Each structure stands twice: as structure tokens, then as C-alpha cells.
A and B are shown apart, each in its own frame.
Chain A
Amino acid sequence: MFIFVASLLTYLLLVWSGDAIPLGEVLIGLLLAGVVTLAFKAWHPDRQLSRRGLDPRRWVNFVVYLFGPFAAGLAKANIDVAIRVITGKIRPGIVKVSPGLKSDLARTVLANSITLTPGTLTVDIDDAGGYYIHWLYVEDEDPSEEQLYGSFAKWARRLAE
């Protein structure tokens, strides 16, 4: 159901012109969202259309995550990378870490968060959920989760599992 609501809201946001939205546009939006949902069902027949994605508490949590820990991590990361670009002091390497996340959505959220925060870039994921992360300045060849990305794994688990 999440994909239906998301496509409808995206369409309405893009056609909104500052005043009220005419009824015709809403009908076209409903039609297009229905087509997108049916296409999703046709491509992934085994995925269930659940109502879990519509829970408002998850959305509040997501916004809190986006503006709290994620924004702080992003700012810190950029100052860190900026210093490394200016001084040219790097010690690159690819390390492995296993946060043990199960669902695809949680893995995606964590991988994107890692890519946008301190000196780290997700290169690959194996089937067991182990992340291979390129690190701009390797402090430890077998790092803990805390060193790499702080509390992001906890947040990803709360948001998407």
C-alpha cells in the first residue's frame, strides 16, 4: 500500500500550483498510482502489499532520524572530508563489518547513510548482511560498528525491521 500512497502524493505535489488542486488532477493521480501499484505487483508477485509502511509513527521516526543523527553525521563527515582534501592525508582501505540486518529496506537505509557520512563508502554487501566499506582513513583493520557509523544500525533497525 505504501507504493500507492507514495506515487499519489508525488504526483499531487508535482502538479500543485499554489492553490487548490482541481478534482480532475486527483482522479488522474489515483489512476496513475493504481497503474504503478499493479505494475509493482506484476514484477514482484511474491511481495505482499502490507499496511506497515503507512504507520505514522514510522514516518515521525524517519523525520527525527533525518534531521537529528543523520544531519549531524553529514555535517561532521563533510568537515572531515574537507580537511582530508586540503591536507591530502589519506590511508585508504576496505574493511568489513557485520551489523546483522535482515530486511532489504533496512540494509538500503544503512548503506545510504554510511555512504553519506564520515569518510566511509559502501562498496559491496554479501548475502549474510556483511558490509564491505571503503574507509578514507583506516584507524583499525577490524573496526567496531561504533567507530564506523555510530548509532546508525540501531536507527535502521528501528525504522525498517
Chain B
Amino acid sequence: MIVFLLVTLALIVSLFFNTLGAVSLYRFPDVYTRLHGATKCTTFGTIFIVAAVLVYSIGRMGGEPRFRVLFVHSIFALMVLLITNATGAHALARASHRSGLLPVGAVVDRLEERRNGGEAL
């Protein structure tokens, strides 16, 4: 019963944040702000999906050894996701700024000022 409650709670939180990630793709005006929503909200949502899987596998761990494997491999998938999502977002932001895509409605842009100052990056 407690496994059921914890899994349901984690899945509700994860679906909430994943939905916000999808909403932010349509709501925000340019690439950089969309990256905020798309990276942070979906990563946080997937952390809670992994938490639900971990709770479920702990609940069934007494019987069969493959639930221990499920536990370890889910943690591994989470680590891969944390590293690759942040790095991918950084690469996309850098590439779009270098290709000349400026942030919409920005109040300050130090990177553009530096490039206009004539310094090579």
C-alpha cells in the first residue's frame, strides 16, 4: 500500500513538471528561454519517474534478483540523463548564439557586446 502511494505521488509530480516542459516550448518566445523549460522541467520530471521505478523495485526486491538489476540500471540511466541533458543544452545554446541568433527582448547581452568589441572567442 505504501509503495502504491509513493509511486502515485512521484508519478503525479513528474507528469506535472513534464507537462510544464512541453508548455514552455509553446509559450516562450525564443530558443534560449525554451531551452530553460525544456531542459530543467523535463530533467526534474524524469528524476521523479526514476524515483517511482526505484520505489517499485524496492517493494518487489525480496522475491526475485532481477528487481535489484532494475534498481541499479535505473540509477545508471538517471546519471546518463543528468550529464547529457545539461551538456546538450549548453551545446545548443552556444551554437545558436554563434550562428547569430540573438535572444528576443533581452535587457542585456554581454556576449554580443564582447563580440562587437572585436575580440575573438
Binding site for B on A (CB under 8 A): 10, 13-14, 16-19, 74-75, 77-78, 81-82, 85-86, 88, 90-96, 111-112, 115-116, 119, 121-124, 126, 132, 134, 136, 138, 141
Contact = CB atoms under 8 A, between A and B. Distances in A.
B28 interface: yes
Given A18-B66, A92-B105, A13 B17 contact: no
A92 B34 CA distance: 11
A92 B27 contact: no
26 contacts: A13-B76, A14-B76, A16-B69, A16-B72, A18-B64, A18-B69, A74-B47, A77-B40, A81-B40, A81-B41, A85-B20, A85-B23, A85-B24, A85-B28, A92-B105, A93-B107, A94-B108, A96-B111, A112-B87, A116-B43, A123-B97, A124-B97, A126-B114, A132-B114, A134-B103, A141-B107
Contacts of B90: 111-112, 115, 121-123
Interface size class of B (residues with CB under 8 A): 35 or more
Contacts of A85: 20, 23-24, 27-28, 37, 41
A136 B33 contact: yes
A121 to B, nearest CB: 6
Contacts of B37: 81, 85
A138 B107 CA distance: 8
Nearest to B107: A93
Contacts, number: 125
B109 A82 contact: no
A151 B47 CA distance: 23
A59 to B, nearest CB: 14
Classify the interface of chain B: helix, strand, loop or mixed: helix
Given A74-B44, A88-B27, A119-B36, A17 B69 contact: yes
Contacts of B73: 13-14
Given A18-B65, A85-B37, 4 more contacts: A17-B66, A121-B39, A123-B111, A132-B111
B40 A123 contact: no
Contacts of B82: 116
B87 to A, nearest CB: 7
B5 interface: no
Given A77-B40, A93-B107, A19 B65 contact: yes
B15 interface: no
Given A134-B32, A134-B93, A92 B103 contact: yes
Nearest to A83: B20
Contacts of B12: none
A140 B82 CA distance: 29
Nearest 3 CB-CB pairings of A with B: A18-B65, A93-B108, A96-B110
